[in-house]
Amino acid sequence: MITTAPRKLVVIGDSGVYGWGDPEGGGWCERLRRQCMTLPSAPVVYGLGVRGDGLERIAQRWQQEWSCRGELRRQQPDGLLLSVGLNDSARVGRCDGRQQLTAEAFRFGLEQLLSVMTPATNVMVMGLSVVDEAVMPFADCLWYSNEAVAIHEAQLEETCLELDVPFLSLHQAMAAEPDWLTWLEPDGIHLNSTGHHWIYQRLQHWKPLLNWAGLEPHAQCTPLLMS
């Protein structure tokens, strides 16, 4: 009897992927994983978020993480959802200090990373969430600003457009929501349960992910996991 291995989706990124700030649903990635578990043809989702990770750390670890997720006959994951950039946008030491990665360095590193990822699998990329500048600095040393986050998201979007990689923009749409400040933890950078649920809802209607995962027929009839 031939066993058909389920498709595997690796979601790699920082504390947003990890689900920090969402004790109710475990984060947007965990909500997606739980939904897929209820659908027989849906992919197996691996949430591989590490708090504090930026582009350079993800570039160092993604291949090792990837190689461990082939369940049957050493098969490799079929898809990768990348969520990175928020930590790279932060300034160190003071509000006008050096950035973890400048927009130019972030763009260069992203191009290098995607050029290696895209021949190996189906890659999709997510945008960045909002921050509350009024409560900075984070951890007494990092200054995040929505201006810098927007610039780094623009680098993500432009690079994905050039390389024909699906991209889900988040920052502008989230900032346009009247209650977005209430979607953040007191630290000003991590989303709470409501914020994670908002991103999860966006994923429910994101055509590239739905088409790749075969979830589109369920998009109208599968209930969302409410926060």
pLDDT digits (tens, 9 = 90+) for 19-69: 999 999 999 999 999 999 998 888 999 999 999 999 999 999 999 888 887
Per the model's pLDDT, the better-predicted residue between 77 and 9 turns out to be 9
Amino acid identity of residue 165, one-letter, is: V
pLDDT digits (tens, 9 = 90+) for 163-217: 999 999 999 999 999 999 999 999 999 999 999 999 999 999 999 999 998 876 4
User: What value does the mean pLDDT take over residues 98-127?
Assistant: 97
Amino acid 74: pLDDT: 66
Residue 161 parent element (H or E): helix 146-163
Residue 147 has pLDDT above 80, yes or no: yes
Structure tokens at 214: 């075969």
What does DSSP say about strands 142-143 and 91-92: parallel, antiparallel, or unpaired?
A: antiparallel
Q: Which residues pair with 9 in a beta bridge?
A: 45, 79
Domains, the chain, with CATH or none? 8-58+76-218 (3.40.50.1110)
Residue 134 has pLDDT above 80, yes or no: yes
For residues 187 and 4, what is the distance between their CA atoms, to the nearest angstrom?
A: 45
User: What value does the mean pLDDT take over residues 146-165?
Assistant: 98
